[in-house]
Amino acid sequence: MVGNLFHDFIYNPKDLRTLFKKNNWKTIVGFQTRNPIHRAHEYLLKCALEQVDGLLINPIVGETKKDDISSEIRMQCYEAMIDNYFPKEHAMLAVYPAFMRYAGPREAIFHALTRKNYGCTHFIIGRDHAGVGNYYGTYDAQEIFQNFESNEIGIKLLFFEHAFYCKRTNAMATSKTSIAKNYEKIFLSGTKVREMLQNGESLPPEFTRPEINKILLRYYKNEK
């Protein structure tokens, strides 16, 4: 099924390494995701990309939770984001044909190691990586890497805090870069996003790009 849906985005590790070399990317950051991409993701990706030659958006397209948006729709969102907001000579999309285990910190290690095998030199670990509900601590998946020496994993980890749109500065930020009060921050929970889309409401542009909002609204109107 994965092969039929995403034929143009399937690469084995050897193929990706060859492509990175062809692009003259000596340093590559990988990004793991199972959700539609939004402005907070975009912010993290661009911060990471400032430090390396290339970005690999590498979403899971195997089985996830039943209430997750389908991988086909999510892929449309990733394509729209790259097409409209990233330089193609520094960013690419390839599927990760696995399923989510929701194992939190241990799965974060697994994701980092597999992206190293794909040829990435760096990997992003954000808040609640591979978490489910409130079972794991918000940054447990980052803290587990303190148990390893820097050369044990063989890939550099980039840790990020929760990002939000700051109304005080009219820009994306985290608590490290903004002194905004809670009422000056715009971020939406997954539950709130689904509720708005199910009601036919557009997501605010401070949360997601209009191209992504259009794809998600069309999906919910047709299939929900």
Cite the active site residues: 34-35
Nearest to 115, CA basis, from 55, 198, 72: 55
Whole-number Å distance between alpha carbons of 194 and 63: 19
Give the strand pairing for 122-125 and 91-93. Answer: unpaired
Neighbours of 123 (CB within 10 A): 27
Q: Is the dihedral of CA 32, 34, 35, 37 positive or negative?
A: positive
Whole-number Å distance between alpha carbons of 94 and 16: 9
**Residue 199 burial (10 A CB sphere; 0-12, 13-18, 19+):** exposed
